[in-house]
Amino acid sequence: MLVGEGPLTGLRVIDAATLAAGPLMATWMGEHGADVIKVEQPEGGDPLRQWGAQKNGVGLMWKSVGRNKKSVTLNLRHEAGRDLLRELCGRADVVVLNLRPSTLRRWGLDYPNLAAGHPGLVMVHVTGFGAGGPKSDRPGFGTLGEAMSGFAHLTGTPDGPPTLPSFMLADGVAGLTATYAVMMALYHRDVHGADGQLIDVNLIEPLARLLEQSVLTHDQLGTVPGRTGNRWDISAPRNVYLTKDGHWLAMSGSAPTIAKRALVAVGRPELTTDPRFAEAQQRLRNAAEIDAIMAGWIREHTLDEAMTVFEEADVAAAPVYDAEQLVADPQLTARNVYPRIPDGDLGSLRVQAPVPRFSATPGRVDHLGPALGEHNEEIYGGLLGLDAGRRRELRAQGVI
């Protein structure tokens, strides 16, 4: 594939959001051909640059999330800066923002203002709680979404506290939701000849949608599901099990045929016709017993021994990987899931390749996250046509 080709080639995205959900959405579009301009405050840039693990002062997560983006600095606290953002939006298909609703209105960056004279613009507004309602203007981060969505309530052991994830789960789910929403809005615009529109995404509702079963259960049965550890009350066996050599193995019996294969694999074929285990709902009622059977067999075998048996029996089982094991897995290695990308700051960095994979227009990683303001001259001098004198003036004023 030639550089610049991709299913989204020809689209321009202004990523004027910070931290995770909005920038992730722009990253994924950039992997598939969109021209992404990352707008950052002149002092410090997106906080994601300083987020998490660093090497020699370089943020590793920024290097990945900033892939394929052009970085410009722009101080939106100045009216001149907001004017430049409006100009950029006038030349773009999509703009991503995560300012509070009141700030958008006060600065004239709400959708009616940004789309004035450019009705085809699609705007993604990512907030903690969503527009409207008493909490719409409160600051929100993924942690709050993970708490309020019901995720933390369901995660952890029955006698332990609610458990938060140690990764950007709510932001990631919101970013994925925003990405497919943008695709639908662009399809509506380009295929049906419609205008662009505003897309309102928050950090609670996308994750809550994946946890809807607890709401359905409460609505219809009047019960509130609680924490069950690594078990799940829709299938059995389903857990992580400790092996003889101190490793962990995960298993899922979600499909009845898989559950029966697992029983046969551990030497208990008679249980496949036992009324307690032969049918899915009965297995759930006897989940503790079937769990104990699996745990007892697995702790008498090493991980390699157990996986050999389960793979030969076509049982859904897998080792629990850490990062070192993940990048060494032969399946992922064969698919080149973690290519090493050259980088001026780090020499090179192993990052995850774009997903999903397209047969005709595969995603790409052209470069990792750029330096702050690295593309100011290209964007302000080239795209917007500001002459050198005007650019010097804006720099002197702290606008860019």
Whether 171 sits among the annotated catalytic residues: the reply is yes
Look up residue 43 and give its two tokens: 């002092």
Reduced DSSP (H G I as helix, E B as strand, rest coil) percent helix, strand, coil of the chain, to 5 = 40, 15, 45
CB neighbours (10 Å) of residue 137?
Answer: 15
- The answer to whether residues 248 and 320 touch, using CB atoms and an 8 Å cutoff, is yes
| Residue with token string 């995660």 | 155
Which amino acid, one-letter code, is at 286?
N
Which of 15, 93, 110, 171 is labelled catalytic? 171
Give, as one character, the DSSP assignment of residue 62: H
d(CA 183, CA 122): 10
Q: Give the dihedral of Cα atoms 323, 324, 325, 327; nearest 10 deg.
A: 80
Give the helix/strand (H/E) hosting 180.
helix 169-192
Look up residue 318 and give its two tokens: 């897998």
d(CA 205, CA 173): 9
Distance of CA 4 to the CA centre of its chain: 24
Angstrom CA distances, 204 to 14, 98, 148, 150, 167, stand at 24, 14, 6, 9, 16
d(CA 229, CA 156): 5
Please list the active-site residues: 171
